[in-house]
Amino acid sequence: MLSLLCVGLVSISATKDEGMFPLNYLDEKALQNAGLKLSTKDLFSPGEVSLANALVKVGGCSGSFISSEGLIITNHHCVYGGVADLSTADNNYLENGFVAADKTKELPIQMPCRITQSFEDVSALVLQGVTKDLNPSARAKAISGNIKKILEEEKVKNPDLTMEVSEMFVGKSYMLFRYLLIPDVRLVFAPPVTIGQFGGDLDNWEWPRHNGDFGMVRAYVGPDGKPAPYSENNVPFKPKRHLKINANGTKEGDFVFIMGYPGRTYRHESAPYLKFQQEVQLPTIQKWYSWYIRQMKTLSEGNESKFLAFAKEIQGLENVEKNYRGKMQGLMRTGLVDQKINDEAMMMKLSETKNDEAIKLAIPKLQTLWARKTELAAQRYHYQFLYNQSGPFYAAQSIRQFKSTFNKGNAEQKKKTITAFAAAMRQNYTVIDKTLEISVLKELLPKINDNRKVKLKVNGKLPIAQWIDQNSKKDKLFDTAFVFGLLRNNPEKLLNYQSGLTKLFDEVEEESMRIEYEWSLIDQEIKAIMPVYLDLKQEYKNGQFIPDANSTLRLTYGYIKRYKPNDAEIHMPYTTLKGVFEKANTAPDYRLPSIVADKLRIKDIPTVFKDKETGEVAVAFLYNLDTTGGNSGSAVLDADGNLIGINFDRSFTATINDYAWNDQYSRSIGCDIRYVLFVVKYVGKADHLLNEMGLSI
């Protein structure tokens, strides 16, 4: 039975101070007073058709159905990786755009679609048997076991659905979500990258914006209407609800809202956590990504094939790297860490009035645990970068780990190990450029060695950089033809391959595993303390909490609104096609080839595409909604629930949304639906898609 009751720290209420509301936290009166013309039942109603049926999680982004034939609109940057994978030098869909003339021309893309069916409070079941006397490891094991049992029982009851138990408040509140998961999704439309990503990294996380960051895919199911893997016999999914498009335009001050799947926020974490972010994690990862991106860009300059091979990783890492820079700036400007520290000093005074050692020690213990994490962090991150960014080292790791499992198994188990090894290597092993791989090792191994008590021996008497150069000439794990050839013909021989890199893995495995194990134990201790910390925070604040975002369906609302991000700056809430041409070709990120620009130059532009105040084609708009990663591709809706834009970014000052939201600096950015339709019609020449959406323009 679906529960619509809030549990834990909050009563049902909606305030605009923070606003990623779970659907069971909505206050209908507050929403309607703010401008919503729908009831909460119209938004989501278990067992009935509602707006939520039109809203999906697609890949790692949000999206929405815009036709009865399973057509989904999301962001261009969400389909970017898939388009890059489908592209070749001869068929460059990334550069030229992609339009499927009909459904038979739509191409498979790895973006499974997930639709929320229902949710239920299962806190009591998850916390069954979890008592105060349990140590952190036993506590974590009990919670994990209870969740596993819930999911197993649910799978029997609902074999056609996918279930997840999501933690709403650490150690306090848990919700079971039931999803319809559709694996067969196909690319339908992607504008040229010079429209979809116009402005590139230069404009990323910035305003004003002038990119048409949208793309379209279609969900397919089996002939019986049930989700099924890709098959030519599959048919378009027919959603219970799809969005109507409002192409009449909006104006500043209009009420807008989003229902989407924001990824993760950290607003209820402690002051030591935030300090760790500001001083350790954010700068360390930002610096590494910046270095790695520079290497890829330098190596792929003037080489289209290599650029396409790097494109997906560059785009993803650039997004994160700049986001981290924005977070660092935001934490510094807002003084959020100091504010949290001051709050916790007052919370500690409050805790001293309690006759409970667990409450009194909660904050001091958190401080000690995060201090230890800080001591471990540098070496842990070096190992993570090595494991994640070095293809040859990944191969060495896989060989040694799967070999260990292989040696322990019987004949049947050995066969399964070989199959799993081959699958893992095909999915994760890649060497796009040997020079890049050598650079990664030269950057990381000296730092790893400097932080080790027992220095590396694999290099013998040679300096590490010289050993890397020599080893890379003879180590076959740098050679994809060799590796994949053995995977096809003799994977067991590959399992027995030994090289400098496999010996390196043997040397670093013990320390890296020890660090990771201690890190996980610290995390368990922190999670065990957080319920006490949250109770203390609730009493100190005497207020209400909204659960941190966790990739579950949320609603945020607000208004189209200008803002002042910096001294002497006023950012207006709309951009137009005029701004595209003003920026065009003034910098590499503003590249706009004449073949694309000519399609944007329309003489007699229909009024429907124009902003009423300026008379120019509307491109992007700004609003004070509370969004974060995962909200990419979310439908921006008007007061009646009609589609008016596609959310694709935040302003640079709003990257701090993950830790706090504030109306003065938090702005989200959407592609105006009028520009979407303009590009579909004049650049894509895809009137058949406009017709499918029920539009005649």
Domain borders along the chain are: 271-539, 554-692
Percent of the chain whose predicted confidence (pLDDT) is above 70: 97
Lowest mean pLDDT among 246-255, 489-498, 651-660: 651-660
Summarize pLDDT for 258-309 with one digit per residue, the tens: 999 999 999 999 999 999 999 999 999 999 999 999 999 999 998 988 888 8
pLDDT value, residue 53: 96
Beta bridge partners of 114: 57, 181
Does residue 12 carry a pLDDT above 60? no
Residues in CB range of 308: below 8 A, 6 or more apart = 84, 87, 88, 89, 92, 94
CA 313/CA 289 separation, integer angstroms = 10
b/e for 25-53, b at 16 or more Cβ within 10 A? bbbbeebeebbbebebebbbbbeeebbbb
**pLDDT at 166 exceeding the cut of 90:** yes
Bond from prior residue into 227 cis (ω within 30 degrees of 0): no
pLDDT at 8: 34
Q: Which among 262, 259, 239 is positioned nearest to 52, based on CA atoms? A: 259
* 174-188, 243-257, 312-326: range with lowest mean pLDDT: 312-326
Global pTM reads: 0.85
- pLDDT, residue 10, reads 33
Residue 662 — pLDDT band, cuts 50, 70, 90?
confident
Q: Topology of 554-692 in CATH?
A: Thrombin, subunit H (2.40.10)
Tell me, what's the pLDDT at 13? 33
Tokens of 234: 């599959």
Q: Taking the CB of residue 361, how many other CB atoms lie within 10 A of it?
A: 14
Residue with tokens 């119209």: 42
Q: Output the pLDDT for position 612.
A: 85
Q: CA-CA distance, 13 to 6, in Å (whole number)?
A: 10
Q: Which sign, positive or negative, has the C-alpha torsion 632, 16, 639, 668?
A: negative
Q: Which of 116, 297, 108 is nearest to 200 (CA)?
A: 297
> How many other β-carbons are positioned within 10 Å of the β-carbon of residue 635?
30
CA-CA distance, 376 to 398, in Å (whole number)? 25
Least confident of 2-11, 175-184, 346-355, 372-381: 2-11
Whether 176 has a pLDDT exceeding 80, the answer reads yes
Average per-residue pLDDT for the chain:
93
User: For tokens 């969740």, what's the residue?
Assistant: 147
Using CA atoms, how far apart are residues 405 and 328, in angstroms rounded to an integer? 43
pLDDT in tens, 370-410: 999 999 999 999 999 999 999 999 999 999 999 999 999 89
Angle at 562 between CA 556 and CA 565, to 5 degrees: 95
Tens of pLDDT, residue by residue over 562-621, are: 988 888 889 999 999 999 999 999 999 999 999 999 999 998 999 999 988 889 999 999
CB 537 within 8 A of CB 268: yes
Both structure tokens of 165: 């138990």
- Given a cut of 90, whether residue 123 has pLDDT beyond it is yes
CA-nearest of 478, 477, 449 to 463 is 449
User: CA 512, CA 505: separation in Å to the nearest integer?
Assistant: 10
Confidence label for 183 from pLDDT (cuts 50, 70 and 90): very high
Q: Please name the residues in contact with 508: beta carbons below 8 A apart, sequence gap of 6 or more.
A: 383, 386, 448, 456
Please provide residue 258's backbone torsions phi and psi, each rounded to the nearest 5 degrees: -130, 135
- The residue-averaged pLDDT of 493-521 equals 97
Chain centre distance of CA 506: 33
Residue 352 burial by Cβ neighbours in a 10 Å radius (0-12, 13-18, 19+): exposed
Do the Cβ atoms of 429 and 392 come closer than 8 Å?
Answer: no
DSSP tally for the chain: helices H, then strands E: 24, 19
The contacts of residue 48 (CB under 8 Å, 6+ apart) are 41
- For residue 205, the number of C-alpha atoms closer than 13 Å in the C-beta half-sphere is 22
Helical H segments across 301-410, by residue range: 304-334, 336-351, 357-389, 391-408
Q: How far from the centroid of its chain's Cα atoms is residue 436's Cα?
A: 26
- Answer whether 243's CB lies under 8 Å from 642's CB: yes
If you average pLDDT over residues 411-419, what whole number do you get?
A: 94
Q: What is the pLDDT of residue 18?
A: 59
Query: Confidence class of residue 645 from pLDDT cuts 50, 70 and 90?
Result: very high
Closest alpha carbon to 71 in 116, 118, 110, 106: 106
Lowest mean pLDDT among 11-15, 113-117, 141-145: 11-15
pLDDT at residue 173, as a whole number:
94
- Residues 190-205: tens digit of each pLDDT: 999 999 999 998 999 9
